[in-house]
Homo-oligomer: A and B are copies of this chain.
Amino acid sequence: LTARAVYFLSDFGLADEFVGVVHAVIGRIAPRSPVVDITHQVAPHDITGGAATLERAAPWLAGGVVLGVVDPGVGTARRAVAFDAGEGTVLVGPDNGLLLPAARSLHPPGPVAAVRLDTDTGAPGATFAGRDVFAPAAARAARGEPLAALGEPVEPASLVELTLPVASVEGGRVRAQVLWVDRFGNAQLNVTPSVAGPVRLVEVAGRAHPAPVVRSYGDIGPGYALVVDSYGRLAVSANGRAAAEELGLRPGSEVWLCR
């Protein structure tokens, strides 16, 4: 049995004790496993935003245990699950779609085995499954227990899917969506350079802006550009300014790319 890292994402924020207590629970069960915080500032109950963040981070988490908790249905009949993404990476969390995009990004065929976790924990209340259900399961996986030891098997194909929006080509233009706006105001689109081709303009809310494809922020002129970002996707960016804020872009906003 070897200790694996636990990678932890949630919508818990950092003002309450939630994140610290989850770390404490994991540390008791798997004292040799580091716990790495991916982020805890997913907007409260924003399953799609959390899924997009985990999907981006996934390539760097392969082989570890991913603990994801954005769980508006906590305490209801939604299942608590753990599954093997297909190449040894274990994901643990609510069965609400949060974890599937990351799993498919790591291993496109999808999960190869899954179990349902017991949610009858004897805790004083049912509202903190992160502490009472998910953290113990993630810690046991991290210290080397097999998936089958964590719960009753369920069919991997029964896991709830959540599909991030997909861009389309319509009349020679690409209709894209914003997946993410980062701290620096870059608006990542669901488009790679090879799909986009030789873009010249982006159109937002009916207004077109020149936006060439460039390789770094320093290559952007006074206006906007599409930068090939660190995930290989195009992002609407400016040089030293927050493009997303200026253009009113948020996750889910529509952006047209024109040649």
Name A residues whose Cβ lies closer than 8 Å to a Cβ of B.
Answer: 5, 7, 9, 11-21, 23-25, 27, 31, 34, 36-41, 44-45, 53-54, 56-57, 60-61, 64, 72-76, 123-128, 131-132, 180, 182-184, 186, 215-219, 227-232, 240
Contacts and interface: CB of A to CB of B under 8 A. Distances in A.
Nearest to A215: B126
Contacts of A16: 39, 53, 180, 182-183
A228 B128 CA distance: 11
Contact of A124 (B18, B37, B231): B231
Mostly, the A contact residues are: loop
A17 to B, nearest CB: 4
Given A7-B20, A20-B57, A73-B218, 7 more contacts: A12-B183, A17-B38, A24-B57, A44-B184, A74-B217, A123-B230, A125-B230
B41 A24 contact: no
A207 B20 CA distance: 36
A61 B39 CA distance: 23
Nearest to A216: B75
A24 to B, nearest CB: 5
Nearest to A76: B218
Contacts of A72: 217, 240
A199 to B, nearest CB: 16
Q: Which of A131, A182, A186 has the largest count of B CB atoms less than 10 A from its CB?
A: A182
A75 B218 contact: yes
A216 B78 CA distance: 12
Nearest to A3: B31
Contact of A27 (B34, B53, B183): B34
